[in-house]
């Protein structure tokens, strides 16, 4: 009888430790995320499932990273691509992205823009959209890959680092698309 009680007690301890570890990992290190909507299509489609690293702050982000954040205009979470980092000047002219005056090839959009007879993104300057010449410290400027439907920094302005949930690092569903996100 003591052996059975001891076994049950050991199982309960192991189960409790497992739950605590899972809670810590989910709360502070990694979290699953499911893409909602078409703002990142075709690179990320609706219902794609991702792993998000929560151990990311603005100083660790790189241009073109994909991030998940608490939407500044709703109770949802959005997923977008970081285009501007603190100190960057951003403008779009004739479907060419300029960061600090230098053109940047948005390789991830080439297929979508290939046969279009119209502007994929639309011209803008950071100053026109936000009243600022550069991205302020502690903020980023984000755009969705599907620019015609994306609700992004062109609409809600800069994104505070406090709103960033984490960086999307891995797609695990659908299986044929499984892999690291650039």
What is the arrangement of strands in the sheet containing 90-93, beginning at the earlier edge strand? 102-104, 96-99, 90-93, 124-125
Of 9, 163, 7, 10, the C-alpha closest to 73 is 163
Q: How far is CA 122 from CA 63, 94, 147, 168, in A?
A: 20, 7, 9, 26
Active-site pick, 39, 150, 153, 167: 39
C-beta neighbour count of 90 within 10 angstroms: 25
Catalytic residue among 74, 80, 153, 177: 80
Mark whether 39 is an active-site residue: yes
Measuring CA to CA, which residue among 179, 126, 131, 177 is closest to residue 154?
126
Asked if 80 is an active-site residue, the reply is yes
* Residues labelled catalytic: 39, 80
């Amino acid at each position: 009888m003591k052996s059975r009680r001891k076994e049950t007690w050991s199982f309960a301890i192991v189960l409790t430790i497992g739950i605590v570890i899972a809670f810590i990992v989910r709360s502070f290190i990694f979290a699953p995320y499911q893409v909602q909507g078409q703002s990142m299509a075709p690179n990320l489609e609706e219902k794609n499932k991702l792993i998000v690293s929560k151990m990311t702050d603005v100083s660790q982000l790189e241009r073109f990273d994909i991030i998940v954040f608490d939407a500044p205009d709703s109770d949802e979470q959005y997923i977008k691509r970081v285009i501007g980092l603190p100190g960057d000047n951003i403008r779009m002219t004739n479907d060419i992205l300029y960061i600090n005056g230098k053109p940047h090839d948005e390789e991830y959009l080439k297929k979508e823009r290939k046969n279009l007879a119209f502007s994929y993104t639309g011209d803008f300057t950071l100053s026109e959209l936000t009243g600022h010449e550069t991205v302020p410290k502690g903020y980023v400027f984000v755009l969705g890959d599907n620019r015609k439907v994306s609700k992004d920094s062109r609409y809600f302005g800069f994104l505070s680092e406090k709103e960033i949930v984490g960086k999307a690092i891995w797609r695990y569903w659908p299986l044929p698309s499984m892999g690291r996100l650039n």
